[in-house]
Amino acid sequence: MSNSFRTLDDADVSGKRVLLRVDLNVPTENGRVTDATRIERVAATIEEIAAKGGKVILLAHFGRPKGGPDEANSLRPVAAAVADVVKRPVAFCPDCIGKTAADSIAKMKNGDVLLLENTRFYKGEEKNDPAHVEALAKLGDIYVNDAFSAAHRAHATTEGLAHKLPAHAGRAMQKELEALTLALGNPARPVAAIVGGAKVSTKLELLGNLVNKVDILIIAGGMANTFLFAEGKHVGKSLCEKDLADTARAIVTAAEKAKCRILLPVDATVAKEFKAHAPARVVDVDDVGEDEMILDIGPKSVAAVEKVLGEIKTLVWNGPFGAFETPPFDAATMAIAKTAARLTKQGKLTSVAGGGDTVAALNEAKVADDFTYVSAAGGAFLEWMEGKVLPGVEALRAK
């Protein structure tokens, strides 16, 4: 890992202007940050560069501005939240290129932290425009990328800068890349993937890539219904993409060819309506009533998944088993999350999970901290699992 990507271990930051790309796209309400998780992820990198005497110049985007400055998408209120987390003053500059930014940077002392205004206020950011990259590069001596969550985009501050300045992965990016290498790059086998979510259509590329990478593919969530339907089972009123039955069968055939075992539910928790504490019953997947919908897997299916977890060495997880936000349809996801966490703590399993719903479910089960790694990067994590090249990551490879 460390030999293929340049990290902070290879950088001398003392007295240098360090352009540090971070993800500060945090939720705010009335100008106050309501969840500082993303700031906490990059705090170690900020603190390390500052402690080593580097000038930390933070580059970040916020919201989706329409290619020009607008107050609602200003990063100004975020500066105070960063200062709270890193326990150092964080100055704010109302621009991210040009004279205003250059003047603010010229005033910095070694160890200072400065947050530049939203990088997306310039159209050149998302276009990765060479002139814009040049203007950014003038402001720094070294580039560090600590924003894995933006690594699937080839923007000026996520990819362009890496070709103009000595480029390194920050500590959060390094941790993410090491975890992903453990999970699918070069995993301890056997390896299983849990793929859930409502629709097969959004996970087609993922399933296609995984059948060639993992030994066991556990299909969960609403998308399992499409596979059951493709096998000729009646799924009642369940969420099901019937027009994708052929696709589901093709994935099963591809898995057989790749010697990848597919695990589908054998029983399910069904209800006639989808609401909290709706009257529910457990049935075999052959016995779903016409007016019922599958909202979670049943105890026999949970036991089958837990048996697999006990036999494998590596687990990659993206997507819940049932409608976990609505009890009692959270039972399977909670039980399986706790089992995976226990096996990880016992040193028997390397577990890497990612995606918004998955992170929420693991937090709900109070086991996120027990997994080997939980990725907060939705789109980038998914594209990486799909086997796609992430431009922001490629740009950090040792030349």
Catalytic site positions: 38, 199, 356, 379
3-state helix, strand, coil in the chain (%, to 5): 40, 20, 40
What single letter denotes the amino acid at residue 139? L
Q: Which of 268, 239, 287 is nearest to 329 (CA)?
A: 268
Cβ within 8 Å of residue 389, ≥6 positions away: none
Phi/psi of residue 7, each to 5°? -115, -175
Residues 93/114, Cβ–Cβ less than 8 Å: yes
Virtual CA dihedral for 180, 190, 266, 194, nearest 10 degrees? 0
Say if residue 87 is exposed, middle or buried (CB neighbours under 10 Å; 0-12, 13-18, 19+). Answer: exposed
Name beta bridge partners: 350. 314
Sign, CA dihedral 200-203-206-210, equals negative
What single letter denotes the amino acid at residue 164? K
Strands 55-59 and 17-21: parallel
